[in-house]
Chains A and B, each alone.
Chain A
Amino acid sequence: DVKVTQSSRYLVKRTGEKVFLECVQDMDHENMFWYRQDPGLGLRLIYFSYDVKMKEKGDIPEGYSVSREKKERFSLILESASTNQTSMYLCASSLGRRFRQNQPQHFGDGTRLSIL
C-alpha cells in the first residue's frame, strides 16, 4: 500500500513565524500535491510538483512556497504565518505522466495547523 506521511498531525504556531510542513511518500510517485481544506470550501490546491525541483502554482499559492529536493519529499512553507492560514493541510501523491494521468491521488492524514 502507498504510504503518505505528514510530519505532524497537529501544529500550533504564532503569527509571523516561518512554518514548515513536511510530506514523504514511499511509492516512487512523480506527482505530489499540497491542499488546504476548509469547511464549506472543499479542497483547494496550493502547489504541486511533477518532478524533483519542479513546481507549479495551484489555485491559492499566495503566502506559500514549496520545495522538492528529493523525489519522495515535498515541503510546504508558510513564509510568514497569518491567522487566515489556520486550516487542515493535506499532502497527496500520484503516479506521473507515463500513466496517462488517470491514476488516483493518495493522501496523508493531514496536518491541522493553528496560527495564533
Chain B
Amino acid sequence: AQSVAQPEDQVNVAEGNPLTVKCTYSVSGNPYLFWYVQYPNRGLQFLLKYITGDNLVKGSYGFEAEFNKSQTSFHLKKPSALVSDSALYFCAVRLPLYAGNNRKLIWGLGTSLAVNP
C-alpha cells in the first residue's frame, strides 16, 4: 500500500540549533513531495515541494528539504531553529498522473516540533 511515514511524533530542539523533521514514503513511480506547517488554531500552510531536479529544495521561512530517492526520504531541515518554528509539520505525497492516480495527497500523521528558548 502507498504510504507516508513521519517516524517521530515529536521533535525537541534548542533555539539556534539545526533541526530535522523526518519523512519517508512508500509509493510506486516518481512522486511529488510536499511539506506543510500548521500553527496552533490555524490551517496548514505550504512550505516547499519537490517535483524534479535538484535534490535540495528551498522553501519558506528558511526551511529546506532533501530528496533522497534511494532511501525514499524527504527530510525537512533548517540550519538554525527559532522558537516561532514551533508547530505541527506534515509531509505529503502526490502520485504522478501517468500512474492513473487521482488528485489526492497521501499524508503523514504529522510531527510536533518544539523549539525551546
Contacts of A31 in B (CB 8 A): 103
Is B14 an interface residue, CB under 8 A from the partner? no
Task: Kindly supply a per-residue 1/0 record for chain B positions 70-111, scoring 1 wherever the CB is within 8 Å of any chain A CB and 0 otherwise.
Answer: 000000000000000000001000101100001111011110
Contacts of B45 in A (CB 8 A): 107
B94 touches A102 (CB 8 A): yes
Distance between A99 CB and nearest chain B CB, rounded to angstroms: 11
Interface residues of B in 28-79 (CB under 8 A from A): 32, 34, 36, 41-46, 49, 51
Q: A106-B46, A109-B42 are in contact. Are A43 and B107 (CB under 8 A)?
A: yes
* Complex Cα–Cα for A106 and B34 (A): 12
* Complex Cα–Cα for A104 and B97 (A): 15
A101 touches B107 (CB 8 A): no
From B46, B103, B107, give the contact of A104 (CB < 8 A): B46
A100 touches B97 (CB 8 A): yes
Is A28 an interface residue, CB under 8 A from the partner? no
Our count of residue pairs bridging A and B at CB distance below 8 angstroms stands at 54
* Complex Cα–Cα for A43 and B109 (A): 7
The number of chain A residues touching the other chain, given as a range, is 20 to 34
B103 touches A48 (CB 8 A): yes
Task: Kindly supply a per-residue 1/0 record for chain B positions 1-35, scoring 1 wherever the CB is within 8 Å of any chain A CB and 0 otherwise.
Answer: 00000000000000000000000000000001010
Q: A31-B103, A40-B109, A42-B109 are in contact. Are A109 and B97 (CB under 8 A)?
A: no
Interface residues of A in 60-94 (CB under 8 A from B): 90, 92, 94
Contacts of B108 in A (CB 8 A): 42
Interface residues in chain A, defined as those with a beta carbon under 8 Å from any beta carbon in chain B: 4, 31, 40-43, 45, 48, 50, 56, 58, 90, 92, 94, 97, 100-102, 104-110
